[in-house]
Amino acid sequence: MSFAPRAQAQAQSTASPTAGNGTYIATDPLANVRYDNRFDFSLGAAYGHIHAGPVALQGANLGGLDLSASYWFSKHWALEGSGRGYLGTSGVASVGGSNSGQNDVRGPFVSQYLFVAGPEWLGPHNKHGDIMLHVLAGGAHFLSHDWPQTPAGVGFYDNQIAPAAVFGGHIDLNRTSRWVFRVSPDALFTRYGFNYPVVPATSSPHDNWNFGISVGVEYKFKTKR
């Protein structure tokens, strides 16, 4: 008696489910990460801390948007431009006495807009992510919404455009070859001037150092260098 046909049938029955289910093929969404793009664009939700005036003891926590773009000259160097807008409320300062009316103002809105540009450097990187550093310089626009008081009446800087700079960078986590999750911590520098009659030496501007951060996404255009 031969058992060969029976063994062959059992082998076929064992193999047939595997063949019917197909073959599993592993794919890597980061396989095409190359760091050779010419342009990139990022948009994030932003936070910035400021002091609205030299005698305003309470800081203002502002929220807004961070819109940035880069043009890459080489693998490690780019020119980056950034526009950032922040809006929120701030505490006021008593600078004018009991009859000045500042006590009628409660948490007025203040806004700050930064428009800066400068060099960007690609640091440690691999297909999973990277660290980038930048130094950006330009201008800041400060605006207080404290009607019916003047900015000086509540201890704020005058509404103005002033020098500004951003020192920091990006921490990127690649999701595909083009889409990136981005966190951008920065030190924000502004140099606002003021003119309060109750403060001596009012003609000198104030240097302000504050912290800002944004969280969002970056898109790398396909165009290669």
Q: d(Cα 52, Cα 50) in Å, to the nearest integer?
A: 6
How many independent structural domains does the chain possess? 1
Residue 110 lies in a domain: yes
Nearest of 148, 146, 169, 144 to residue 159 by alpha carbon: 144
Residue 18 lies in a domain: no
Tell me the CATH number at 83: 2.40.160.20
Residue 99 lies in a domain: yes
Residue 181 lies in a domain: yes
Residue 74 lies in a domain: yes
Nearest of 69, 88, 89 to residue 79 by alpha carbon: 69
Q: Which two tokens stand for residue 224?
A: 């290669």
Q: d(Cα 210, Cα 142) in Å, to the nearest integer?
A: 14
How many CB atoms lie under 10 A from the CB of residue 54?
20
Q: Domain range spanning residue 70?
A: 38-220
Q: Considering the entire predicted model, what is its pTM?
A: 0.79
105-116 tens-digit pLDDT: 677 889 999 999
Residue 28 lies in a domain: no
Residue 65 lies in a domain: yes
62-89 tens-digit pLDDT: 999 999 999 999 999 999 999 999 999 8
Kindly report the backbone phi and psi dihedral angles of residue 9, in degrees, each rounded to the nearest multiple of 5, phi listed first: -65, -40
